[in-house]
Amino acid sequence: MTDSRPVLTMTGISKSFPGVRALHNVNFQLFPGEVHALMGENGAGKSTLIKVLTGVYDTDEGTITLDGEPASFTGPMQANAAGVSTVYQEVNLCTNLSVAENIFIGREPRLLGAVRWGEVRRRARALLARLDLDLDVSAPLGSYSLAIQQMVAIARAIDIKARVLILDEPTSSLDAGEVAQLFRIMRQLRDEGIAILFVTHFLDQVYEIADRITVLRNGGLVGEYQTAELPQLSLVEKMIGKELDVLEGIEEHSRRDLAALEEGTPLVAVSNFGRAGAVAPFSLTIHAGEVVGLAGLLGSGRTEVARLLFGADRTDGGQVAIDGTASSLRTPAQAIDHGVGFCSENRRAEGIVADLSVRENMILAMQAARGWLRPIPRRRQDELVDKYVKALNIRPANPEVPVRNLSGGNQQKVLLARWLITEPRLLILDEPTRGIDIGAKTEIQKLVAQLSDGGMAVLFISAELEEVLRLSHKVAVMRDRQMVAQLANDDSLDADRIMQTIASGSHREEADR
Amino acid sequence: MTTGTLTAGRARFRLPRKQIPVLATLALLLVMYGIGVSQYTAFSNVQVIFNVFIDNGFLLVVAVGMTFVILTGGIDLSVGSVVAMTAMVSAALLKDGMPAALVLVIALLIGPTLGLVMGCIIHFFEIQPFIVTLAGMFFARGMCTFISGASIPITDGFWTSMSQERIGNPQGNFVSISVLIAFAVVVVAAYTLAYTRLGRNVYAIGGNPQSALLMGLPVARTRIAVYTISGLCSAIGGILLSFYTLSGAPLIAVGMELDVIAAVVIGGTVLTGGAGYVFGTVLGVLVLGVIQTLITFDGSLNSWWTKIVIGGLLFAFILLQRLIGIRYK
pLDDT at B83: 97
Nearest C-alpha of chain A: how many angstroms from B76?
Answer: 22
Region A203-230: mean pLDDT is 89
Lowest mean pLDDT among A145-149, A182-186, A191-195: A145-149
**Entry field: residues in chain B:** 329
- A346 touches B at CB < 8 Å: no
- Going by pLDDT thresholds of 50, 70 and 90, the confidence category of residue A160 is low
A368: distance to nearest CA of chain B, Å?
31
Element holding B282 (H helix, E strand):
helix B278-298
Residue A346 has pLDDT above 60, yes or no: yes
DSSP secondary-structure letter at B275? -
The minimum CA-CA distance between A140 and chain B, rounded to whole Å, is 8
Strands (E), B58-198: 152-153, 166-168, 174-176
Q: Are B158 and B100 in contact (CB under 8 A)?
A: yes
Residue range A157-163: mean pLDDT, rounded: 78
B2 touches chain A (CB under 8 A): yes
**Residue A243 has what pLDDT?**
52
- Percent of chain B scored above 70 by pLDDT? 93
Residue B5 touches chain A, beta carbons under 8 Å? yes
Q: How far is A101 from chain B (nearest CA, A)?
A: 9
pLDDT higher at B223 or A419: B223
Q: What are phi and psi of A15, to 5 degrees?
A: -150, 125
Q: Over the stretch B298-328, which tens digit does the pLDDT of each residue have?
A: 888 887 888 888 899 888 888 887 777 644 4
pLDDT tens for A140-156 read 898 888 778 888 988 88
Q: What SS3 string covers A338-396? A: CCEEEECCCHHHHHCCCCCEHHHHHHHHHHHHHCCCCCCCHHHHHHHHHHHHHHCCCCC
Disruptive mutation site among A105, A136, A300 for chain B (greatest number of B CBs within 10 Å): A105
Higher pLDDT: A297 or B16? It is A297
Domains within chain B, CATH numbers bracketed: 18-328 (1.10.3470)
Q: Do A134 and B7 touch (CB under 8 A)?
A: yes
Cβ under 8 Å to A: B residues 18-77: 18
Q: Looking at per-residue confidence, does B143 or A324 come out higher? A: B143
Q: Which residue of B has its CA nearest to A95?
A: B207
Q: Contacts of residue B196 in chain A, CB cutoff 8 Å?
A: 113-115
- Is B6 close to A156, i.e. CB distance below 8 A? no
- Give the pLDDT band of residue A180 (cuts 50, 70, 90): confident
Residue B2 scores a pLDDT above 60: no
Q: Which amino acid is at A6?
A: P
Coil, helix or strand at residue B167: strand
Burial class (CB in 10 A: 0-12, 13-18, 19+), B201: buried
Q: How many CB atoms are closer than 10 A to CB A177?
A: 19
Mean pLDDT of A7-28: 86
Q: pLDDT averaged over chain B?
A: 89
More confident residue, B286 or A316: B286
Ramachandran bin of A313, using left for φ above 0, alpha for ψ from -120 to 50, beta for the remaining angles: beta
Q: Which chain B residue shows the shortest CA-CA distance from A178?
A: B2
For residues A197 and A164, the answer to whether their CB atoms sit within 8 Å is: yes
d(CA A157, nearest CA chain B) in Å: 10
User: A247-339+424-512 is classed in which CATH architecture?
Assistant: 3-Layer(aba) Sandwich (3.40)
A296: left (phi over 0), alpha (psi -120 to 50) or beta: left
At A198, the pLDDT band (50, 70, 90 cuts) reads: very high
Size of the A and B interface in Cβ pairs below 8 Å? 115
Residues in chain B closer than 8 A to A148 (CB atoms): 6, 9
Q: Considering CB atoms only, which of B9, B214, B215 is closest to A145?
A: B9
Which residue from B minimizes the CA distance to A176? B2
Lowest-confidence segment of A170-174, A181-185, A242-246, A368-372 by average pLDDT: A242-246
Of A37-46, B68-77, B110-119, the range with the lowest mean pLDDT is A37-46
Residue B312: CB atoms within 10 Å = 10
CA–CA distance, B203 with B201 (Å, rounded to integer): 5
Phi, psi (rounded to 5 degrees) for A112: 50, 40
Q: Do residues B67 and B261 lie in contact, with contact meaning Cβ atoms separated by under 8 Å?
A: no
Q: How far apart are CA A306 and CA A346, in angstroms?
A: 13
CA distance A437 to chain B (A): 26
Distance from C-alpha of B73 to C-alpha of B86, rounded to nearest angstrom: 26
Q: Which residues 138-177 of B have a C-beta within 8 angstroms of A?
A: none
Query: Average pLDDT, stretch B230-258?
Result: 94
Does the beta carbon of A251 lie under 8 angstroms from any beta carbon of chain B? no
In angstroms, the CA A88 to CA B13 distance is 29
Identify all chain B residues contacting A506, using CB atoms and an 8 Å cutoff: 1, 4-5
Q: The whole model's pTM is what?
A: 0.73
E strand intervals along B169-328: 174-176, 247-248
Which pLDDT value is given to residue A314? 87
Q: Mean pLDDT lowest for which of A37-41, A385-389, A422-426, B301-305?
A: B301-305
Contact B3 A108 (CB under 8 A): no
pLDDT single digits (tens) B40-67 = 888 888 899 999 999 999 999 999 999 9
Looking at the complex, does the CB of residue B274 fall below 8 Å from at least one CB of chain A? Answer: yes
A503·B1 Cβ contact <8 A: yes
Q: How far is A313 from chain B (nearest CA, A)?
A: 17
User: Which residue on chain A is closest to B205 by alpha carbon?
Assistant: A94
Please indicate if any CB of chain B lies within 8 Å of the CB of A92.
yes
Please check whether residue A131 touches B, CB under 8 A: no
Question: Would you call B215 and A108 a contact, using CB atoms and an 8 Å cutoff?
Answer: no
Q: Which residue has the higher pLDDT, A432 or A491?
A: A432
Tell me the per-residue pLDDT of B131-183, one tens digit each, with 9 for 90 and over.
999 999 999 999 999 999 999 999 999 999 998 888 888 878 888 999 999 99
Q: Of A363, A361, A355, whose CA–CA distance to A405 is shortest? A: A355
Q: What share of chain B is helix, strand, coil (3-state, %, to 5)?
A: 75, 5, 20
The answer to whether A322 and A267 are in contact (CB under 8 A) is yes
In angstroms, the separation between the Cα of residue B146 and the nearest Cα of chain A is 43
What ipTM goes with this model?
Answer: 0.83
Q: What is the mean pLDDT of chain A?
A: 82
Q: Please report residues of A whose CB lies closer than 8 A to that of B194.
A: 115
| Chain B CB within 8 Å of residue A76 CB | yes
With pLDDT > 90 as the criterion, what percentage of chain A qualifies? 15
* pLDDT (0 to 100) of residue A304: 87
**How close is the nearest chain B Cα to the Cα of A300, in Å?**
13
Which residues face A291 on adjacent strands? A458
Instruction: Report the alpha-carbon angle A219-A223-A227, nearest 5.
Output: 125
Bridge partner residues of A294 (DSSP): A461, A476
CB contact under 8 A, A513 and B17: no
Instruction: Give domain limits for chain A.
Output: 8-242, 247-339+424-512, 352-423
Nearest to A96 among B210, B215, B275 (CB): B275
CATH class entry, domain A8-242: alpha beta
Q: Give the C-alpha separation, A495 to A304, whole Å.
A: 23
User: Chain A partners of B201 at a C-beta cutoff of 8 Å?
Assistant: 105-106
DSSP A227: G
